[in-house]
Structure 1
Amino acid sequence: MKKALIVVDYSNDFVATDGKLTCGEPGQKIEKNIYNKIEDYNTNQDLIFYLMDYHFENDPYHPETKLFPPHNIKGTNGRELYNTLKSQYEEIQNSKNVFWLDKTRYSAFFGTNLDSLLRERAVDTVEIVGVCTDICVLHTAIDAYNLNYKIHIPKNCVASFNQAGHDWALTHFENSIGAFVE
């Protein structure tokens, strides 16, 4: 088994109290857990992929424009990693096991070379952390399932602004796509 950590959308806009589309306190409560998870992966030289939502100001063609307020806009503080994860990333970003990929849809796989990078490195298991459990984490996990990856979702490393959606997604991960949820 070769594993990789996928850190999904842990940005200021999704986590900070004043973020444009924040999950607020639930997202803030998982910061230390994600930080520690990244530390463990980095210490073991396991692969770490940061997948960050990427939007343009006033983009009339993006489907999220009709669904959500503008968020994670190119060149804004809102797109930066939240709090201690920003300085942690700055320390490890030049490591050969750390990757940053921009994504323009919910899934970390859609329109990115994530699958190619994982397959080139013989990864068969992905551990997904970040926000929002019932949106981007969910769609990333479903695509990972459809691409035949084993999936691990640590409950203490995912959060959403919608508690009912969060709870539903955790059950869906386990019961519908066979993810290991702990």
Structure 2
Amino acid sequence: MENSYLVVVDMQNDFIDGALGTPEAQAIVENVVRKVREFPGRVVFTLDTHRPDYLQTQEGRNLPVEHCIEGTRGWQLADALEAIRAERDLPAYRKATFGSMELAQDLARENEQEPIESIELVGLCTDICVVSNALMLKGFMPEVPISVDARCCAGVTPKAHEAALTTMASCQIAVER
């Protein structure tokens, strides 16, 4: 599985125990840390990244809760994940919205050079950023097997989490439970 990827989506403090945190998000942190430590392929992170004018953006008008403002504690990865990321010098894609176009384009280019065996996604929030990135990756690379580990994801609510898993499964993204 040398050319396989684990995409760790937005495991940031504001989504865990900060402005938009949930008990379900807090409950998956150790599962995600274990997955990152044990993953045999390449690991990349995404970071929801907003500026102080967040509330004036379209997203901010629709979700008027300041979160993941670059440079704040809420923007940072969970401590254990940041320690692994820094130790291994793993890439982190900053993104201003739900899906990372840069990540999808980079992996699509990588796939053209050397076929990617698989891409697995974990992280937060299942029903917003995980599903957005999964579908974007599927759109860029329809023949690459893409999966999501439900034990390492949490949604805004448990019901929204399940709805996103159903949506991804409908789009031929394997859901591991």
TM-score range, shorter chain: 0.7 to 0.9
Residue 88 of structure 1 is matched in structure 2 by 84
SS at 1:130's partner residue?
A: strand
Residues 1-150 of structure 1 mapped to structure 2, 5 A cutoff: 2-16=3-17, 19-22=18-21, 24-41=22-39, 44=40, 46-59=41-54, 62-68=57-63, 69-93=65-89, 98-108=90-100, 110=101, 112-117=102-107, 119-120=109-110, 122-147=115-140, 148=142, 149-150=144-145
> With structure 2 as the length reference, what TM-score do the two structures score?
0.87
- Stretches of 4+ aligned residues off by more than 4 angstroms: none
- 1:114 is displaced (CA, Å) by 4.0
RMSD across aligned positions (CA): 1.8
Which amino acid is the alignment partner of residue 8 of structure 2? V
Residue 166 of structure 2 is matched in structure 1 by 171
- Which shows bigger deviation, 84-93 or 117-126? 117-126
- 1:123 is displaced (CA, Å) by 2.0
Aligned residues: 169
SS at 2:92's partner residue?
A: strand
The structure with the largest helix share of the pair is 2
Q: CA-to-partner distance for each residue in 1:114-155, whole Å, 9 max, x for gaps?
A: 422453253242100000000000111111121123211111
SS at 1:51's partner residue?
A: strand
Q: Distance in 2 between matches of 1:118 and 1:39?
A: 25
SS at 2:68's partner residue?
A: coil
SS at 2:52's partner residue?
A: coil
State the identity as a percent: 29
5+ residue gaps, structure 1: none
Which amino acid is the alignment partner of residue 116 of structure 1? D
Q: Distance in 2 between matches of 1:160 and 1:142?
A: 16
Query: Residues 60, 15 of structure 1: CA spacing in aligned structure 2 closer, same or farther, 3 A cutoff?
Result: closer
Query: Residues 60, 79 of structure 1: CA spacing in aligned structure 2 closer, same or farther, 3 A cutoff?
Result: closer
